[in-house]
Amino acid sequence: MSFHPVEQAPGRLNRSELAVPGSQPQMFEKAAQSDVDVIFLDLEDAVAPDEKLQARKNIIKALNEIDWGKKSMSIRINGLDTHYMYRDVVDIVEQAGERLDLIMIPKVGTAADVYAVDMMVTQIEDAKGYKKRIGFEHIIETALGMQNVTEIAAASKRNESLHFGVADYAASTRARTTIIGGVNPDYSVLTDPAEDGSRDIHWGDMWHYALARMVVAARANGLRPIDGPFGDFSDPEGYKAAAKRAAVLGCEGKWAIHPSQVVLANEVMSPSEGEVDRANRILSAMADAEAAGKGAVSLDGRLIDYASIRQAEVLIEKVKQIAAA
């Protein structure tokens, strides 16, 4: 390991994160009853300008009055370029800050954006005498945010997670897609002709680079990388495919923009029985190897070593987190 320690953010379960518009209070109870790990009550892009003030009031009331159980509660504030943002923070943290676990900052572009919100939240928490510190979730969803993702990830002790906001990211980078989280058949590889002249088309994942880059910045700073929305809620297979790609790259959760996506996210982002079984067998095989004075052995015909222990331990830790939820 490097001599530079990577401090880990609080071990919060974040397999699924449900977006609930603050302007739709009739959806709050159902969200509270769901199996989701984190809920963000939205003040930003799912709320029309005329409804912003009422949404803020709805959220304050809901945070104080609804039993959200063990769920982590977040609010997505408006962007720092709007005049709504300061009151989102002041009113909600002052009036409902004790039940708020996280603040989601959209379209974060620079480390200074994080600093500004941190300064406000710190003042309010201190003035109110809150004991619990509110964490930050940042949506990386602009070219500027992606360019500065490393500095953003390191900008505050409150930072807990980075989220890939694929819809705004597409808009910001002028990517050719209009479907939220969808792909484009033009991003494909045409194979060389086979003997009979036929050629195959392999679709590519146009979001691979962005997601992978965000995952590295998150993990290098001890934060959770979380994949963002998949807009077509009538396509569970498409959702699961996107969630699996994200999980394979290291993401530990995905947004749900519809309650039906919560169960899919929880399923994909939880280790399977097979994975848990293999992790346990790796740990016991490596314990035997160590007792025999070996650093690497084979299991099922494959090499395992100390890095395998670390991977297995991460997986078992996740299982414990899920059991405790």
Q: Which of residues 192-221 bind ligand GLV (CB under 6 A)?
A: none
Look-up of token digits 């015909």? 301
Alpha helix positions (H), the chain: 28-33, 52-65, 85-96, 111-128, 143-147, 149-153, 166-173, 208-220, 236-249, 260-269, 273-291, 306-324
Q: Which among Mg ion, ligand GLV, none contacts residue 37 (Cβ within 5 to 8 A by kind)?
A: none
DSSP 229-249: ----TT-HHHHHHHHHHHHHH
CB of 180 to Mg ion, least distance (A): 9
Q: Indicate which of Mg ion, ligand GLV, none lies near residue 228 (CB less than 5 to 8 Å, by partner kind).
A: ligand GLV
Are 53 and 200 a contacting pair, CB within 8 Å?
Answer: no
Q: Are residues 179 and 232 in contact, defined by beta-carbon separation less than 8 angstroms?
A: yes
Choose the contact partner of 252 out of Mg ion, ligand GLV, none; CB within 5 to 8 A by kind. none
Q: Which is nearer to Mg ion, 24 or 172 (CB)?
A: 172
Nearer to ligand GLV, 31 or 139 (CB): 139
216: helix, strand or coil? helix
Q: Is residue 165 a contact point for ligand GLV (CB under 6 A)?
A: yes
User: Which stretch, 151-159, 161-169, 203-211, 269-277, contacts ligand GLV (CB under 6 A)?
Assistant: 161-169
Question: Which distant-in-sequence residues (6+ apart) come within 8 Å of 307 by Cβ?
Answer: none
Among 25, 135, 229, 259, binds ligand GLV (CB under 6 A): 229
* Inter-residue contact 93 to 132 (CB < 8 Å): no
Q: Are 159 and 114 in contact (CB under 8 A)?
A: yes
Nearest Cα to Cα of residue 73 among 100, 55, 44:
100
Contact 186, 129 (CB under 8 A): no
| Nearer CB in complex with Mg ion: 28/169 | 169
User: Nearest-CB residue to Mg ion?
Assistant: 168
**167 near ligand GLV, judged by CB under 6 A:** yes
Does 43 sit near ligand GLV (CB under 6 A)?
Answer: no
Q: Verify binding: residue 145, ligand GLV, rule CB under 6 A.
A: no
Return the residues of window 67-106 that contact ligand GLV according to CB under 6 A.
106
Residues that bind Mg ion (CB under 5 A): 141, 165, 168
Per-residue string for binding with ligand GLV, 259-298, x by CB under 6 A?
----------------------------------------
Q: Please say whether the beta carbons of 175 and 159 come within 8 A.
A: no
168 forms part of the interface with ligand GLV (CB under 6 A):
yes
Residue number, 95 or 177, with CB nearest to ligand GLV: 177
Smaller CB separation from Mg ion, 133 or 176:
176
Query: Considering CB distances under 5 to 8 angstroms, the limit depending on partner class, which of Mg ion, ligand GLV, none binds residue 229?
Result: ligand GLV
Instruction: List Cα–Cα distances, 6 to 3, 190, 219, 309, 321, in angstroms.
Output: 9, 42, 9, 19, 20
CB nearer Mg ion, residue 239 or residue 285: 239
Rounded Cα distance between 224 and 230, Å, is 19
Contacting residues toward ligand GLV, per CB under 6 A: 106, 139, 141, 165-168, 228-229
